Structure 1
């Protein structure tokens, strides 16, 4: 149980699972990580951690609720400097500017992509698009498969035909199959078509929207309209990256980062304008920042100037900027997810 003043944004806040209903199957990986009493299996493949973002078209679905019943989104708006720090709040407003999910694909996800900031502002009445990144934390024993980027340049008319005909075989065969394993990361720029394979479990960082252009909507969504979000495929297909991604380009976004010490940067400089992520182990010293901590294994403690909280496998915490510097102790492995760098 958190302290009664958790909404003020002065100390770490433990969070239960937050699994809005999705159209695809999954959730066993989340249950295995978080525990059967703190997660659901029935179409709960995503745990939206410390979310101030709603599902597309929904007023509150997807938001994180604090112990006192208040939405985290509203707490951040009431105390932005406590939660986010003055520099972040000056640049981004009372908005963490990042959404973190645990995503456990119980089936292959459809081929889809996301708009850029510029496209979302021009066509979707949204300040943010949806660049994202995946930190792979679980796969089948022989690795998991994801599909990323077209193997060669594709014309706009070809993509439009695939979508109109719902030619799944053509879409998948045009994408690069990539085998991923725990410890790999994938940076997914806006517009890049992709599909996550069954059995892949990730910590996902993304810009704070639920904007997905679902090219392969048949047998996944209730209607074609869900694929284009009501904007029309004639509009939204303009956001698709139709360029070819060869091995060299793929190598720039699919990485495996070995531990470099208690704190290891996972996503590199290209992602920093959108979000940042670190692998954390015992002995890590963390600077003050709004951040989301996902404990993957082991146990330990997180100590701030005034508080010490336990860290156990499956725990998720949101850390306000006001909590200050913190130290992680113990035999523990966690992922720390952070907002974008503040522009200089």
Structure 2
């Protein structure tokens, strides 16, 4: 029997910015402390990614320092990377994709399919539910758009798409200003757009299924908007219900100023899909074994495991931690976001 060398140590990752159709990336560069002028269309940094861009073989994947794709390393030893309980539910999938996303311009109005639709049309176990943790803003009016204010008839949506009536689409959506510390949970099917000047840590299911209602001035081909399904089929996955203020409040949290070494960041409905919390050691924080994607937002410190001397951390670092690293000790004057898959045994889907 071939023995498996278990991954035991956290791994610092470089930026991983596959080409996108929209502008942005200056806030990512500033966080990482690198030159922001080299790229205009680097608005997304896919952190610890085992997911490829739609229709691509390797674009989007994270490469480890030893030259392997993280995807291949996880497949070679899923229990070492993810833990036995996770594997019992999700097999060798991390069940998670984390991005740094800096919108240099407003993103188009779009939505993502739920698990059942993705299984039927894309042969995928996962749709694309996501959540945004706002970590920075710039400009005069950083805002996001999410959910129709009133119920919409599918025929109306089809007309908007046919005419590419962006003003009507935006006017139909809820819109609100955001600031650092706000978090927004985006269930699959919910129409949404991130506005210019909003910088987020985004958690999502590990796919790249975006169905784009507003493709003109963003995509070079309308077929990319419906991912080859046709808009008639794609809109079957759209949530056309109305989201009033009370309902919308179930998606949004305001965590700025929250005290404590560990702060749960996301709305309760996101728990079957992913977990995220803010970590501020005071002075030391002990973390249970888990597959973790860590994003250091400020300060400096160390991350030690049960078996190694530790990894020095500083603002802008992104780190992947395998489950087999065991119990962790996070220390120092720093602020970080810990991103994890759902708790073992839990998974979403509709």
TM-score (structure 2 length as normaliser):
0.94
The equivalent residue for 1:175 is 173
- Looking at structure 1, the residues matched to 234 and 136 of structure 2 have their Cα atoms a distance apart, in angstroms, of 32
What displacement does 1:38 show? 9.4
CA contact (8 A) 1:292 1:318 kept: yes
**Structure 2 residue aligned with 1:52, among 50, 60, 64?**
50
What displacement does 1:41 show? 2.8
- Looking at structure 2, the residues matched to 37 and 17 of structure 1 have their Cα atoms a distance apart, in angstroms, of 12
- Looking at structure 2, the residues matched to 273 and 316 of structure 1 have their Cα atoms a distance apart, in angstroms, of 24
Range with greater deviation from structure 2 (25-34 or 275-284): 275-284
**Structure 2 residue aligned with 1:72, among 70, 73, 89?**
70
- Uncovered stretches (5+) of structure 1, i.e. residues with no partner: 1-6
**Structure 1 residue aligned with 2:39, among 38, 41, 45?**
41
- Give runs of aligned pairs for residues 201-212 of structure 1, distance below 5 A: 201-212=199-210
- Looking at structure 2, the residues matched to 44 and 70 of structure 1 have their Cα atoms a distance apart, in angstroms, of 23
CA contact (8 A) 1:150 1:174 kept: yes
**2:302 corresponds to 1:304:** no
CA contact (8 A) 1:143 1:181 kept: no
- Give runs of aligned pairs for residues 6-45 of structure 1, distance below 5 A: 8-36=6-34, 41-45=39-43
CA contact (8 A) 1:97 1:339 kept: yes
TM-score (structure 1 length as normaliser):
0.95
The equivalent residue for 1:330 is 332
CA contact (8 A) 2:114 2:127 kept: yes
- Looking at structure 2, the residues matched to 39 and 82 of structure 1 have their Cα atoms a distance apart, in angstroms, of 39
**2:293 corresponds to 1:292:** yes
CA contact (8 A) 1:17 1:39 kept: no
The equivalent residue for 1:276 is 275
What displacement does 1:8 show? 4.4
- Looking at structure 2, the residues matched to 219 and 100 of structure 1 have their Cα atoms a distance apart, in angstroms, of 27
Q: How many residues align?
A: 338
- Uncovered stretches (5+) of structure 2, i.e. residues with no partner: none
Flag the 1:33–1:39 CA change in 2: closer, same or farther, 3 A: farther
The equivalent residue for 1:342 is 344
Q: Give the SS at the match of 2:300.
A: strand
- Looking at structure 2, the residues matched to 209 and 253 of structure 1 have their Cα atoms a distance apart, in angstroms, of 21
Q: Give the SS at the match of 2:117.
A: helix
Flag the 1:40–1:250 CA change in 2: closer, same or farther, 3 A: farther
The equivalent residue for 2:198 is 200
Flag the 1:119–1:224 CA change in 2: closer, same or farther, 3 A: same
Flag the 1:315–1:39 CA change in 2: closer, same or farther, 3 A: farther
CA contact (8 A) 2:13 2:318 kept: yes
- Looking at structure 2, the residues matched to 179 and 73 of structure 1 have their Cα atoms a distance apart, in angstroms, of 37
What displacement does 1:269 show? 3.1
Q: Deviations over 1:246-266 (max 9, x none)?
A: 100111101112434111111
Flag the 1:98–1:105 CA change in 2: closer, same or farther, 3 A: same
Q: Give the SS at the match of 1:284.
A: strand
The equivalent residue for 1:253 is 251
Range with greater deviation from structure 2 (29-38 or 287-296): 29-38
